[in-house]
Amino acid sequence: MPLSLQAKLLRVLQEREIERVGGRRRIPIDVRVLAATHADLPRRIARGEFREDLYYRLRVVEIALPPLRERREDIPRLVRHFLERFAAREARDVPTLDRDAYAALLTHEFSGNIRELENLLEGAAALCRGGVIRREDLQWLPAASRAAAAPTGSGAPEEEPSSLRALEDRHIERVLRLAGGNKSRAARLLGISRRTLYRKKSVGQ
């Protein structure tokens, strides 16, 4: 947030009033502000990038939330929450995860934290067959995490795509098949625009 906007937010928090764009009357507000960041704010304050007075005005009650990799016991509950939400949105039965898929999730580092888990499960829920998410449905999970969860002595390993481009192409093709060729629905499942889907398809051909 630019420093100019930081000053305006500080004024709102201090005075508990806002003024509409183009308006001349101050409007009282009664709100509770929850702010979250992964940035090192004290360091940004030292560099003059964040207002110190706003920092202390926001820091009334501080809750330190460890990254997902440090609280893996939360993964099963988050998995259930996201899968139930996706199923309700798509009017489908809630899928389940098999043992290998769960093991892959529990051993993954999740540098993108909960948002990475959410996106990973959304793609897997769209691609899975028979209402069961398997290890191979976790398309964006690195091969190392999937391999770490694979049982030993289970035969030849699944062939991996030769490049990230090939992996992306295969994922798009699977989602298109799932959507019955409907590009608008496929784009929605992929979390991209229809125009981006067309561009990726043309590059991959």
**Domains assigned to the chain:** 3-58 (no CATH), 67-153 (1.10.8.60), 160-205 (1.10.10.60)
Q: What is the pLDDT of residue 111?
A: 85
The CA distance from 135 to 127, in Å, is 11
- How far does CA 31 lie from the centroid of its chain? 27
Tell me which DSSP letter residue 27 carries: E
The token pair that represents 129 in the structure block: 């067959």
The CA distance from 200 to 193, in Å, is 11
Band (58; pLDDT cuts 50, 70, 90): very high
Band (49; pLDDT cuts 50, 70, 90): very high
How does pLDDT run across 146-176, given as a tens digit for each residue? 454 455 444 444 444 445 566 667 777 777 7
SS3 97: strand
- HSE-CB at 46 with a 13 A cutoff on CA atoms is 5
Look up the pTM and report it.
Answer: 0.55
Cβ atoms within 10 Å, residue 70 = 9
